[in-house]
Amino acid sequence: MADIWSEALHSLQPRLGAQTFDMWLRPIALQEIRGRSLHLHAPNRFMKEWFENHYLSVVLDEIKRMTHSDYTAEIEVQEQAAANTPRRAPTEPVAAVEVPAQPAPQPTKPPVSTLRPRLSARYRFDNYIKGTSNELAASAAWAAAQEPGKRFNPLFIYGGVGLGKTHLLHAVGRHIAEHRPELRICYLSAEQFMNEFISAVRCNQFDAFRSRYRHDLDVLLIDDIQFIAGRDRTMDEFFHVFNALYEAGKQIVVTADRVPADMKGMEERLTSRLNWGLVADIQAPDLETRAAILRQKADHDQIRIDNRVLLHIASLVRSNVRELEGALLRVTAFAELRGVRITEGFVSEVLGGVTPSQATAPVTIERVQKLVASHFSVKIADLKGPRRHRSISRPRMIAMYLSRELTGASFPEIGQRFGGKDHSTVINACKRITSMQASEPDMRNTVSSLREQLTGPLLN
């Protein structure tokens, strides 16, 4: 009759998904069935509790559905069950019975996320250029680095790709490491956190994982937290880590590519905690900041290039700092290969023939739609379509607003170009974006950065 267990699992597998199934159900082994009671073995306490809290009722329901009877279950922890290495090799002499009853502790590996290998010397506060686009985030990071755990805890930094989030996070870590060597710092990406968590559970080292992250740390720096959205077990574990550290007054700094509320699949209780401290944004840098970043980079790499030319590069490459650095690299590499001096004309030629005149080409509704769609990662068809979800309707309203402001097209004409919508829809969109800009700094920044990308910065 052992088969009711395997049959129940078999029918649950497609519903739970292979990953969940392999991770949480497969390690639980049926020992015997006595009457209506299942005796199960779990490889460790953590797996037992997790299974009990999350999956036991699902399995029992399934058994009930199959047998029309109520079963109960008892789960016993059998540490050895999951250990791949048997306590005693079959050929070992009897004297080896003295081997401890518990598996021998693994040689203590250095925590996977020790500080040194992970913090880059390139990312420091002294080479982080501040501008209006990143001022709040940079100042808050500095304050957190000066007085870990005292102010701005947690600190949540968000912004688009290549805008300097990782740079700031490393800078915080390095600064603390230099000035407070007694503090234990851990920097890692959310993806690494997830991988370590999974492997700790798999290798039966969850206790070590738990104490490493919940107790043996003074500063936790987590990059790209959006990665764990929708990964329930990792979110749950991170939630406990967060609570333990927060309650102990330890500094937590988290980065993401968007605000907590916009992370699809992120647990509510986690987003609310991420909002407890300071939430600071990094926007695309303005022309001046871009030029300053280039100047610093050129000086650091001992590239001889004059400010006018740097300003020209900065005026052509607006999306993010990483691309800006890439552009400088490309220009200097080409100049070296050809053995020529870097001039504005040369820059225009190398950077794909983008010229300032193109940057200030007339704004059309089509250009607005293209830019807004790519900025928010939505389809142009969705901007023109009927969907009302906030993730679409906001970009759509912004695109309508910018079309009105920058192209001079009439409301009915704009409605027409957004999939034949009524002119009143366009008027409402413009009114809402106007009022949102007045009350939400984020909206104001987004609109002005998009506007700048469409009209080009004022060059003189």
Which residues form the interface with Mg ion (CB under 5 A)?
165-166
Does 188 interact with ligand ADP (rule: CB under 6 A)?
no
Cβ proximity to Mg ion, 4 vs 185, nearer residue: 185
Does 129 interact with ligand ADP (rule: CB under 6 A)?
yes
Q: Which does 322 bind (CB under 5 to 8 A by kind): Mg ion, ligand ADP, none?
A: ligand ADP
Does 148 interact with ligand ADP (rule: CB under 6 A)?
no
**Strand order of the sheet with strand 72-77?**
29-34, 37-42, 72-77
Q: Which two tokens stand for residue 424?
A: 């009143």
CB of 421 to Mg ion, least distance (A): 38
What is the rounded end-to-end Cα distance, in angstroms, of the chain? 84
Cα gap 252→242, rounded to integer Å: 8
Cβ proximity to ligand ADP, 163 vs 263, nearer residue: 163
Q: How many helices (H) and strands (E) does the chain have?
A: 23, 8
Does 238 interact with ligand ADP (rule: CB under 6 A)?
no
Which segments of 180-212 does DSSP mark as H helices, in order? 190-202, 206-210
Cβ proximity to ligand ADP, 321 vs 397, nearer residue: 321
Cβ proximity to ligand ADP, 207 vs 323, nearer residue: 323
Does 134 interact with ligand ADP (rule: CB under 6 A)?
yes
Angle between helices 390-407 and 365-376 (to 10 degrees): 150
Residue nearest to ligand ADP (CB): 164
Does 421 interact with ligand ADP (rule: CB under 6 A)?
no
Cα gap 460→447, rounded to integer Å: 23
Does 327 interact with ligand ADP (rule: CB under 6 A)?
no
Does 163 interact with ligand ADP (rule: CB under 6 A)?
yes
DSSP conformation letters of 320-360: -HHHHHHHHHHHHHHHHHHT----HHHHHHHTTT--HHHHT
CB of 433 to ligand ADP, least distance (A): 26
Q: Which does 161 bind (CB under 5 to 8 A by kind): ligand ADP, Mg ion, none?
A: ligand ADP
**Segment near ligand ADP (CB under 6 A); pick from 87-95, 121-129, 227-235, 427-435:** 121-129
Does 277 interact with ligand ADP (rule: CB under 6 A)?
no
Q: Which does 134 bind (CB under 5 to 8 A by kind): Mg ion, ligand ADP, none?
A: ligand ADP
Among 266, 321, 328, 363, binds ligand ADP (CB under 6 A): 321
CA gyration radius for the chain? 28
The closest alpha carbon to 217, from 192, 190, 242, belongs to 242
CB of 293 to ligand ADP, least distance (A): 5
Among 50, 71, 128, 156, binds ligand ADP (CB under 6 A): 128
Sign of the Cα torsion 433, 439, 442, 448 reads positive
CB of 168 to ligand ADP, least distance (A): 7
Contact by Cβ (8 Å): 155, 277: yes
Q: Which two tokens stand for residue 332?
A: 């200097």
Sole residue written with tokens 């509320």: 261
Q: Which does 128 bind (CB under 5 to 8 A by kind): ligand ADP, Mg ion, none?
A: ligand ADP
Among 48, 118, 165, 175, binds ligand ADP (CB under 6 A): 165
Cα gap 78→75, rounded to integer Å: 9
Residue nearest to Mg ion (CB): 166
- Buried b / exposed e over 264-302, threshold 16 CB at 10 Å, is eebbeebbebbeebbbbbbbbbbbebbbbbbbebbeeee
Q: Which does 123 bind (CB under 5 to 8 A by kind): Mg ion, ligand ADP, none?
A: ligand ADP
Which parts of this chain interact with ligand ADP (CB under 6 A)?
A: 123, 127-129, 134, 159, 161-167, 293, 321-322, 325
